[in-house]
Amino acid sequence: MADKHGDFVWYELMTPNPDAAQSFYGGLLGWTFAEAGFNGQDYRSFSAGDAQVGGFLKLTEQMAEHGARPAWVGYVQVDDVPDAVAKVREAGGHIFMEGGEVPDVGPFAMLADPEGAPFYVIDDRSGQPSHAFAKHAPRQGCCAWNELLPADPAAADAFYTSLFGWKKGEAMDMGEMGLYQMYTRDDYGIGAMMKRPDEVPASFWAFYFRVPEIESAKAYVEGNGGQVVNGPMEIPGGEYILQGIDPQGAFFSIIGPKEI
């Protein structure tokens, strides 16, 4: 089935050392890589089995001088990129890049919501459906959940539901942490938003990639230059999540079961 307006379709890591990042994430998530650069860029696509999931973009010194940092950023399918850019601008968001074109795919733009959390929009005209986000069933190495930590959840809700057509789903009361509000897209859950804790300095999107077993993943992260900052932590449904910093400084999230 073709992807629709509001679907997450690709995940990109901006990293200063693609070789080292490839080694780290390949071992952690079992991804395989292929060169996909154009216009002289060092860009590598990665796949989980036969499912393309995303790409690694080399973070250059020039990009860093303009404020770019190692980070994961998601791409959302839209029907009209210029219209999405105009809506983001009108809503007080940020325009980092517009007028871009992915060869044989379609136009894209790099934007940020009013709090500064970055994301891409893309009009993928390739005709190939994305399997980067596992919409209906768990899939190893693919993204299982998209999560935003905004300072103002009500404002973030208005911004993203208006832009992408997401609908509110169930919500969980997390006590002092506030409400964990989930969102749906057609017949599947796309992710959630929760007010970011005071100790978190900026709003950002987190993407949970699936691993076979969480404790072995934790040991791998710690043994290969990464840092675990939270978890493993059990979540409703019996699975576990872990959040960490990769060896190049990018925040990442994983999800998986724990062997008993």
Residues 25 and 87 in one domain: yes
End-to-end CA distance of the chain: 37
Alpha-carbon span 156 to 150, nearest angstrom: 7
- Please check whether residues 21 and 100 belong to one and the same domain: yes
Q: Which structural domain range is residue 100 located in?
A: 8-122
Maximum distance among all Cα pairs of the chain, rounded to whole angstroms = 51
- Tokens at 18, concatenated: 């693609």
Query: Are residues 157 and 224 located together in one domain of the fold?
Result: yes
- pLDDT tops 80 at residue 57: yes
Is 154 found in the same domain as 250? yes
From 66, 87, 122, the end of a domain falls on: 122
Cα 247-251-257 angle, rounded to 5 deg: 95
pLDDT reading at 134 higher than 80: yes
- What percentage of residues in the chain have a pLDDT greater than 90? 75
Cα separation, 78 vs 4, in Å, equals 7
Q: Are 151 and 64 in the same domain?
A: no
pTM: 0.94
Domain assignment of residue 173, yes or no:
yes
Strand partners, 242: 254
- Does 207 fall in a domain? yes
How would you classify the pairing of strands 167-173 and 251-256?
unpaired
Domain assignment of residue 137, yes or no: no
Provide, rounded to the nearest whole percent, the portion of the chain with pLDDT above 70: 97
Is 170 found in the same domain as 95? no
Question: Same domain, yes or no, for 117 and 163?
Answer: no
142-153 residue pLDDT tens = 999 999 999 999
Per-residue model confidence as pLDDT tens digits over 69-80:
899 999 999 999
Confidence (pLDDT) at 36? 76
Of 128, 146, 183, nearest in space to 1 by CA: 128
Q: What's the full length of the chain, in residues?
A: 260
If one counts the domains in the chain, the total is 2
What pLDDT was estimated at residue 197? 86
Q: State whether 17 and 106 are in the same domain.
A: yes
Are residues 113 and 150 both part of a single domain?
no
Asked if the structure places residue 128 within a domain, the reply is no
pLDDT for 206 equals: 96
Tens of pLDDT along 222-257? 999 999 999 899 998 889 999 999 999 999 999 999
pLDDT digits 0-9 by tens, 16-45: 999 999 999 999 999 999 987 666 678 899
Per the domain annotation, does 3 fall within a domain?
no
How far CA 166 is from CA of 9, 10, 76, 160, 211, in Å, comes to 15, 18, 12, 7, 27
Tell me the three state secondary structure of residue 32.
Answer: strand
- pLDDT for the residue numbered 38: 65
The rounded distance, in Å, linking the Cα atoms of 197 and 50 is 38
CATH number of the domain residue 60 falls in: 3.10.180.10
133 lies in some domain: no
Is 202 found in the same domain as 147? yes
Domain-located, residue 131 = no
**Torsion angles phi and psi, residue 81, rounded to 5:** -65, -50
- Residue ending a domain, among 122, 155, 184, is 122
User: Same domain for 226 and 156?
Assistant: yes
Residue 172 lies in a domain: yes
Shared-domain flag, residues 165 and 197: yes
The residue type of 76 is V
Burial class (CB in 10 A: 0-12, 13-18, 19+), 253: buried
| Per-residue three-class SS string for 121-182 | EECCCCCCCCCCECCCCCCCCCEEEEEEECCCHHHHHHHHHHHHCCEEEEEEECHHHCEEEE
The tokens of 129 are what? 């459906």
